[in-house]
Amino acid sequence: MQIPSVPVPFTGRIDPRARSICAQSKEWVQRMGMMSPGMAAEYFDRLAYADLGTRYSYGATREGAQILADLTCWFFLWDDQHDRLIIEGKEYEWRRQVTQIREVVHDPAGSNADHPAPRALGDILRRIRPHFSGVWWRRFTQHWDGVVAANDREFDNRSAGASETIDNYIELRRRSVAMIMWMDLVELAAQTELPPQLYHTPEYQTCVTATVDYCAWCNDLHSLAKERSAADTSNIVTVISRARGCSLETAVEETLQRMAARIEDFRQAEQTLTNRIAHGMHLDEAVRQGLHRCLLSMRDWNANMDAWHRISARYLDAAPGVRLQYYNEDLARLDKLEMLIKGTERSRDGSWRYV
């Protein structure tokens, strides 16, 4: 099925340092045990995970841009693990990994995880933490709790062949795709921290949820073939088709209409917020400029999302009847094998130590 695009009335930016950022992410995923050297050599560039990170890091510091690209890679590779463990029925391994991820989210410095995914996440979270206050960090970790819980629920749904209602799915997807967490990180790209009274305004929250929904559903459209091959029920098109008793084509059309509506919601909320700032919302100039950069970063997300999906092998390589993509590795097995071959063990920061 050909996936139409939804016109977005603004142009997205791409980080001019993209080449070096992607190269460093390629080294990072191998060093942290998230991808084997052989798989990275063959598929990393084609999957373009780090490339997506460079499409919403415009204006970030070099360190901030690298964090965003590395976390993008991490999330897709973790999602591959989620998919693999569901298909292989390895519930115990999933629960064990989830427990370690929850621990590392709440204590990145003190975690003693023995799986590559939580270890690598801890590395990223330790790099993010110095950029923000305790207030911001509590918001961020609460959103992470939601991301982990939503993926846990999707594990149960898919294992049982269950499907959510449309409204429940929309709320679940905001968290399972981690877009609610990514909207916190527009502040990293913007080199700012929004005060809570601004972050929680209805207008800013509409910009956040509109961007979250548009990007999540865009991902669902492009991953439809891949997910149907894996009997994955966590897709807005599948949910609409089941709930309405309609064809996939009709469900795709409804999804496109919903996406267009969310872009309009974003534009209206952005304009209302701009008007409030100009006529009565008392913010100092640094906060105003920080807000402006955050909104530009959300525009980058909306404007760049569709085009990125059209270049990634993650979606282009999807084929009917292929239940597990060939670049999806068993990270726990890979980690143990690498230690055996090298005669090493990992220290808590993810580096190798000879034994």
In this prediction, residues 262-275 reach a mean pLDDT of 95
| Predicted confidence (pLDDT) per residue in 185-243, tens digit | 999 999 999 999 999 999 999 999 999 999 999 999 999 988 887 777 889 999 999 99
Q: CA-CA distance, 228 to 206, in Å (whole number)?
A: 31
**8 A C-beta contact, residue 121 and residue 34:** no
What pLDDT is stored for residue 322 in this prediction? 64
**8 A C-beta contact, residue 262 and residue 24:** no
Q: CA-CA distance, 53 to 71, in Å (whole number)?
A: 8
pLDDT of 350 higher than 50? no
Q: CA-CA distance, 156 to 288, in Å (whole number)?
A: 43
For residues 233, 313, 341, 83, the Cα torsion angle rounded to the nearest 10 degrees is: 0
The mean predicted confidence, pLDDT, of the chain is 90
H-helix or E-strand spanning residue 305: helix 285-309
pLDDT of 351 higher than 50? no
Q: CA-CA distance, 328 to 331, in Å (whole number)?
A: 9
Share of the chain above pLDDT 70, in %: 91
Count CB neighbours of 203 within 10 A: 19
What pLDDT is stored for residue 44 in this prediction? 97
**DSSP annotation of 131:** G
In this prediction, residues 67-96 reach a mean pLDDT of 94
Share of the chain above pLDDT 90, in %: 74
What pLDDT is stored for residue 324 in this prediction? 61
In this prediction, residues 44-48 reach a mean pLDDT of 96
In this prediction, residues 25-38 reach a mean pLDDT of 96
| Predicted confidence (pLDDT) per residue in 269-280, tens digit | 999 998 887 666
Helix then strand count (H, E) for the chain reads: 19, 2
| Predicted confidence (pLDDT) per residue in 132-170, tens digit | 999 999 999 999 999 999 999 999 998 888 889 999 999
What pLDDT is stored for residue 92 in this prediction? 94
Q: Which string of b and e fits 117-138 if b means at least 16 CB within 10 Å?
A: bbbbbbbbbebbeebbeeebee
What pLDDT is stored for residue 332 in this prediction? 76
Q: Which string of b and e fits 90-99 if b means at least 16 CB within 10 Å?
A: beebbeebbe
Q: CA-CA distance, 256 to 237, in Å (whole number)?
A: 10
**8 A C-beta contact, residue 95 and residue 53:** no
Who's near 109: CB < 8 A, 6+ residues apart? 122, 126
Token duo for residue 244: 């309405």
